Amino acid sequence: MKQHPTIFAFGTALCLLLSPLAASGASTEVAPVEGKQADVLATVTGVRSIVHKKSGLVVRLLEADVSASVAEDPIALFLVVTDDGTSNWLGRVWRLPYGVERVRALSPTACGVDASVEVDGPDQPTPSRPSPKRISRVFHLCFLTVDGKLLPKLLFSDDAKRAG
């Protein structure tokens, strides 16, 4: 899968901003993010982060509001997995294939993480109908091999838990 340069730059920039190394007190001049990269960074509405104990990798789920107007499932999700190392940096950034209404939780699994989310139901809201029902789903995000190495591609699956 080809990575989009804006998403990669976005993820890399956020990884650096959220890294414990950023708070070390060292002073470095950094050029400002401009153009489309700045637009994407401005849309980040939430970040969830855990350390995957099996692999030692830091896992971040970035929530970004990408809707141009009122839209069903307006939140795009970016999964950022890094080792937070300074030399021989190891990391990947993926944009998940589905948007969500809300992220509820992020929990580690043997091959990665599970993200508990809510998505809009099948009916679009209209003036005569209230907002659609929300459906809870679990996104299974596998990015590790059996021996704990980072995969080049994300394995994504989901399942509905219950109607809201």
- pLDDT per position as a tens digit, 122-157: 655 555 555 567 889 999 999 999 988 888 899 999
Which class for 86: exposed (0-12), middle (13-18), buried (19 or more C-beta within 10 A)? exposed
Q: How many domains are there within the chain? A: 1
> For the segment 89-104, what is each residue's pLDDT rounded down to a tens digit?
788 888 888 889 889 9
Taking the C-alpha atoms of residue 93 and residue 81, their distance in angstroms, rounded to an integer, is: 7
Alpha-carbon gap, residue 58 to 162, rounded angstroms:
30
Query: What long-range pairs does 131-138 form, CB within 8 A, spacing at least 24?
Result: 132/72, 133/163, 133/164, 134/101, 134/102, 134/164, 135/160, 135/161, 135/162, 135/163, 135/164, 136/104, 136/160, 136/161, 136/162, 136/164, 137/100, 137/161, 138/114
Q: What integer is the mean pLDDT of 50-66?
A: 90
d(CA 63, CA 46): 5
Query: So what's the pLDDT on residue 88?
Result: 75
As given in the structure block, the two tokens for residue 143 are 């990015």
**The dihedral of CA 91, 95, 101, 107: what is its sign?**
negative
Distance CA 1, CA 10 (A): 17
Q: What is the mean pLDDT of residues 9-15?
A: 50
**% of residues, the chain, pLDDT over 90:** 28
Domain residues for the domain of 70 are: 5-163
Specify the pLDDT at position 10: 52
